[in-house]
Amino acid sequence: MGKIIISTIYSGHAIKVALSKLGADKLILVTDEISHPTKENAVAELKQVFKDVLKIDTLKINSYNLSEIAETVTKKIDEEFKEGNEIVLHLSEGRKTTFLALLFAGFLRKEKVKGAYYITEETNQLISLPLIELSIGETKKEILKQIEKGNGVAKDLKEKLDVNQSAVYQHLQELKKEGYISNEEDGLKLTELGRIMIL
């Protein structure tokens, strides 16, 4: 069993502080697919500085696709948790979209994440971020999954889920109101939040 930090990255400064305050056996850096010299230099420097004491891996992501980032990170959390590792999120560096996606991943896997932290730029203070439970009922979640597959017609949902049609309509209204789905010209579609909720 080891301690894993999954971290956003930009310059690497806050990561060094987080490592000194939190300790870790392995560091997983969530970084852009697209080349970014500052981040690449920071990854190279961290690997050089900690080469004898810390395993460092990277997760390549599209930093503007929240649901894709959250999916990548939740899979990594699941994998590390299955190995018996303690998982911590560090969210001080990088793009705000990446920060949000990692936080959503922490919400979705709250029972598997020990904590989420931010390091202040001015004083290097470690701030613990709250991890709330982000969940919806199983029927609503299944409706979202069916819509993702292209099955967004109420009649079809009624048959696939074995619930009455009025309940399906009620769930659809609530899912729209809560921001999980939207009406598009070609039918119901998941919003970014809807895609995150089915992870």
Q: What is the DSSP string of 134-192?
A: ----HHHHHHHHHHHTT---HHHHHHHHT--HHHHHHHHHHHHHTTSEEEETTEEEE-H
Q: Are 109 and 77 in contact (CB under 8 A)?
A: yes
Q: Give the integer Cα–Cα distance in Å for 68 and 74.
A: 10
Same-domain pairing of 115 and 31: yes
Q: pLDDT tens digits for 41-88?
A: 999 999 999 999 999 999 999 999 999 999 999 999 999 999 999 999
**What residue numbers bound the domain in which 184 lies?**
138-197
Q: Span 141-156, mean pLDDT?
A: 86
Same-domain pairing of 99 and 12: yes
Question: For position 73, what pLDDT does the model report?
Answer: 97
Question: For position 175, what pLDDT does the model report?
Answer: 94
Residue 94 pLDDT exceeds 80? yes
Same-domain pairing of 109 and 156: no
Same-domain pairing of 108 and 192: no
Same-domain pairing of 83 and 152: no
Give the distance from CA 36 to its chain's centroid.
Answer: 21
Cα separations (Å) of 29 from 89, 148, 159? 10, 29, 44
Using CA atoms in the order 174, 177, 180, 185, what is the torsion angle rounded to 10 degrees?
110
| Residue at which a domain ends, from 92, 108, 129 | 129
Same-domain pairing of 125 and 143: no
| Residue at which a domain ends, from 79, 101, 129 | 129
Question: For position 21, what pLDDT does the model report?
Answer: 96
| Residue at which a domain ends, from 81, 103, 129 | 129
Question: For position 18, what pLDDT does the model report?
Answer: 96
Tell me how many domains the chain contains.
2
Question: For position 151, what pLDDT does the model report?
Answer: 82
CATH of the domain at 51: 3.40.50.10770
Q: pLDDT tens digits for 97-125?
A: 999 999 999 999 999 999 999 999 999 99
b/e for 37-53, b at 16 or more Cβ within 10 A? eebeebbeebbeebeee
Question: For position 163, what pLDDT does the model report?
Answer: 84
CATH of the domain at 180: 1.10.10.10
Residue 164's pLDDT band (cuts 50, 70, 90)? confident
Question: For position 14, what pLDDT does the model report?
Answer: 96
Same-domain pairing of 121 and 159: no
Same-domain pairing of 159 and 106: no
Same-domain pairing of 74 and 154: no
Q: What share of the chain is helix, strand, coil (3-state, %, to 5)?
A: 45, 20, 30
Same-domain pairing of 13 and 108: yes
